[in-house]
Amino acid sequence: MVLAARAASLLQMNTLITQALRAGCLLALGAAHASDLFVGDLPTIVVTPSSADGSAFTVPHSLSVITASDIENSSSTNLGELLSREAGLNLKSFSGGDKNAAVDIRGMGDTAVSNVLILVDGVRLNEADLSGADLSSLALTDIRRVEIVRGGGAVRYGDGAVGGVINILTRRPVSGALNGSVESQLATYDGRALRASATGGSGDWSARLAAGRSTSNGYRDNSELNRSDGSFELRYLPDGALDALDAYVRVSVHQDQYGLPGPVSAAAFAGSEAERRSTRAPFDGGRTDDRMVTLGTHFDWGTYGELELLANWRDRDNPYLIGYSAAIPEADQANRIESQKQEWQARYRLDVEASGHKHSFGLGMHWQTADYTRHENGEAVLGNSARRVGELEGMGGYAEATLRGSNGLALNLGARVNRLASDFRDEKYTQECVTYFPPTGCVDAFRPQGASRNTWRNQAYELGLTWQTRPEQMFFVSASQHFRAPNVDELALATTDLRPQTGVTAELGMRLKYDTRVEFSATVFGMRNEDEIYFGQDPSSGSSLNRNYEQATRRLGLELQGRWRFSPAWMLVANGGYVQPRFSDIDADIPHVPRVTANARVEWTASEAWLLSANVRYVGQRYDGNDQTNRDFPVLPAYSVYDLSTRYRFGDIDLTAAVLNLFDEVYSTVAYSALAILIDLLAVSIRVNHVRV
């Protein structure tokens, strides 16, 4: 009843919804980039959300699917750039690429790293701190599919599924004769990349091995990113009587070294190219060592249901240096993050025939633990070195059902209960002396300076109704309640009463397809969050801490997606998003959230071997990250980025050439107190894909 009442209060905001619809109609005229939403993917089972028939067409949420073919045809050079071309998604980058970047869905702003859940094959990529998900740890060539569910996933995935869920599905081993591919790339700013993969198998076993290395100096001074990664997967899929079993083990490693150029002033931003490319932090940077092991198995017992089990272990080491000073030994300024995570999942699904229809029921359990230590100001500098230690333990369970009725009606419903316990300690390296008679002794060690221990219990609910009036037409309405608990970084510098945020999202949408030429979808949504977590100043003390907003926040908007193949050779793909990210009691937008984002791409298939495309991405103006009143600092201007690319295939060789940011647009994705973080300019990329061996 509470969920229904809160959802109803959202839908009653007629004036703002009307404004969103009007803005959406304007966006439809300017349309945008879209992925394979319906026509190509209708028979394909989606794994992230639940739906009436398992396909993308009947999901009761705004949904995008990016296929392997989309990635091959795209001019994108990294995952963050690829995701930013989807409806309502906005990329916030701190270094010019997908390292230290966040993908925002539905206007979460600076907390998108914690309010947008990113999965890799169902496993959380988000870290336990504010670093979020490291998008640079994934190579585009290793991805076979991306599913983006806006406003859904809180029941199945729990904590952090507020703006939405992005599930990245990687390529699987293929049994049979050994085959492989090699990809090489040359790009501006001394960009180089080489990647190779091989797969094959015999009988019940198959395996896939992939490895790659890339280097780039970046646009800014000290913005280089050099990374290496590799993965190995062994899969067991027996024939005969045991064909209900599918089991695998996957090991992946990622290493990188990166520079942190820091911000530039407004004067430098408006100045010469040399000023924009300069850095005041030539020695800041870091390194990442990330290792992951995943075990998974799937049992299909036919009429007795399906069981899926998954276990994941991840270890990350991240030494870094920020704010280097020549007056202090470098070892005394060094910082390091150590993180270990474990995650276990169990899911069971059963299909039941009743009243002439097949209904689906699901149960799931999820456990996770995280141990986190951040070393600051050296390892053992007396009176200066500090250590922040956090331990998280979470457990949740859910139940969901899809009930199918007559006339194309289907009802999706689910509920989740969740428990999260956190233990945080703040320690400093100090000396403690004890005087005995007659000896005196002093011991240097890390000693507690403060601690906090919390246990939070939260619930999530989802309710969705779909109505497929005809095979080519579907309407849906849904409501969901979601939550997000503080992470270890937020607990390290927080008010004494910091608590989880809760919220509710309501959606109303439709999907249409006319034969194989035209597709269109539209979704109107409203979101209201209570106790939303943010980093801000305490009016009474003047100090900045992680705290909860006293007033509720609300986001109202519209998402449009479409595709029009107006001839066998020509196609327009399109999407756009509009959101009003507002404080309930203040006449101000939430910082760093553009109200309007839009993309458009035109493709020309000149022949079976030759494809050309032109893409434009538009991001509207945003308010400064430290400007909660929208009056204190200059507005970040809107920007448009135009890309051209062509792909030519001959035999087993694909050759792709692209010019990114064709008109040399100068722009910043984020700024704090009028200091811009990212500036990006013209880039040229040439790559040779899939040279099969």
Instruction: Output the CA–CA distances (angstroms, integers) from residue 386 to 271, 331, 334, 337, 545, in the order listed.
Output: 39, 14, 11, 12, 18
Indicate the pLDDT class of residue 541, thresholds 50, 70 and 90: low
> What pLDDT is recorded for position 437?
61
Mean pLDDT of the residues in the chain? 86
Six-digit token pair at 528?
Answer: 């209201």
> What pLDDT is recorded for position 34?
39
Instruction: Output the CA–CA distances (angstroms, integers) from residue 360 to 91, 160, 416, 432, 460, in the order listed.
Output: 36, 26, 17, 63, 20
In the predicted model, is pLDDT for residue 693 greater than 60?
no
In the predicted model, is pLDDT for residue 10 greater than 70?
no
pLDDT tens, 461-475?
Answer: 999 999 999 988 999
> What pLDDT is recorded for position 688?
59
Six-digit token pair at 594?
Answer: 């553009």
> What pLDDT is recorded for position 449?
87
Q: Which residues contact 18 (CB under 8 A, 6 or more apart)?
A: none
Return the H-helix or E-strand segment holding 72.
helix 68-73
Tell how far CA 659 is from the center of its chain: 26
Pair type for strands 553-564 and 570-583: antiparallel
Tell how far CA 42 is from the center of its chain: 24
Q: Which residues contact 256 (CB under 8 A, 6 or more apart)?
A: 99, 136, 137, 225, 226, 227, 228, 287, 288
Six-digit token pair at 323?
Answer: 């704010």
pLDDT tens, 28-81?
Answer: 333 333 344 433 433 457 888 888 788 888 899 999 999 988 888 888 888 988
pLDDT tens, 144-157?
Answer: 999 999 999 999 99
CB of 74 within 8 A of CB of 87?
Answer: no
- Helix/strand/coil (H, E, C) string of 482-545? EEECCCHHHHHCECCCCCCEEEEEEEEEEEEEECCCEEEEEEEEEEEEECCEEEEECCCCCCEE
The rounded distance, in Å, linking the Cα atoms of 363 and 669 is 41
Mean pLDDT, rounded, for 410-437: 88
Closest CA to 414 of 402, 427, 429, 406: 402
> What pLDDT is recorded for position 78?
87
Six-digit token pair at 533?
Answer: 């977590």
| Portion of the chain with pLDDT greater than 90, in percent | 54
Determine whether domain 2-692 maps to CATH 3.20.20.70. Answer: no
**Coil vs helix vs strand at 345:** strand
Closest CA to 255 of 220, 216, 213, 295: 213
> What pLDDT is recorded for position 11?
36
The rounded distance, in Å, linking the Cα atoms of 461 and 594 is 29
Six-digit token pair at 679?
Answer: 């500036």
pLDDT tens, 612-666?
Answer: 999 999 999 999 988 888 988 989 999 999 999 999 988 888 888 888 888 888 8
Higher per-residue confidence, 336 vs 583? 336
To which residue do tokens 């930013």 refer? 84
> What pLDDT is recorded for position 62?
94
Q: Which residues contact 317 (CB under 8 A, 6 or more apart)?
A: 288, 289, 290, 336, 337, 338
Length of the chain measured in residues: 693
pLDDT tens, 236-248?
Answer: 988 754 457 889 9
Instruction: Output the CA–CA distances (angstroms, integers) from residue 106 to 52, 55, 90, 146, 280, in the order listed.
Output: 25, 23, 9, 18, 34
Angle CA(561)–CA(566)–CA(569) in degrees, nearest 5?
A: 110
- Range in 11-20, 256-265, 388-397 the model is least confident about: 11-20
The rounded distance, in Å, linking the Cα atoms of 623 and 635 is 5
Mean pLDDT, rounded, for 318-339: 92
Q: Check the CA dihedral 214-206-309-105 and report its sign.
A: positive
Tell how far CA 3 is from the center of its chain: 26
Six-digit token pair at 651?
Answer: 């035999």
